Amino acid sequence: MDQEKIMNGLTKEIRSALKAMGKTKDPHEKEIYSRIIKNLCDSQGVFFNLASEMMYFDLDNEIDHSDVPF
């Protein structure tokens, strides 16, 4: 699956849940939306961490290794 589509989908779902939570008056429903938002944000964090780790490895590939004898 395309990571960009996943990230955009998670962002869309977070926004939607935040809007719904803002409209509800029932504390129980607000708690439910809060848990949904937390889970979505945690999922999005996994992708941010993965992207961060991938950038670290990409930088390693850009280092000039021409002076290394092997």
Is residue 70 included in any domain, yes or no? no
Give the pLDDT confidence of 27-40 residue by residue, as tens digits.
999 999 999 999 99
What is the pTM assigned to this prediction?
0.70
Which pLDDT band, with edges at 50, 70 and 90, does 64 fall under? low
- Domain of residue 8 covers 3-59
Look at residue 65 and tell me if it is in a domain: no
Question: Would residue 44 count as lying in a domain?
Answer: yes
Lowest mean pLDDT among 3-12, 13-22, 56-65: 56-65
DSSP per-residue letters across 10-52: HHHHHHHHHHHHHH---HHHHHHHHHHHHHHHHHHHHHHHHHH
* CA 15/CA 29 separation, integer angstroms: 16
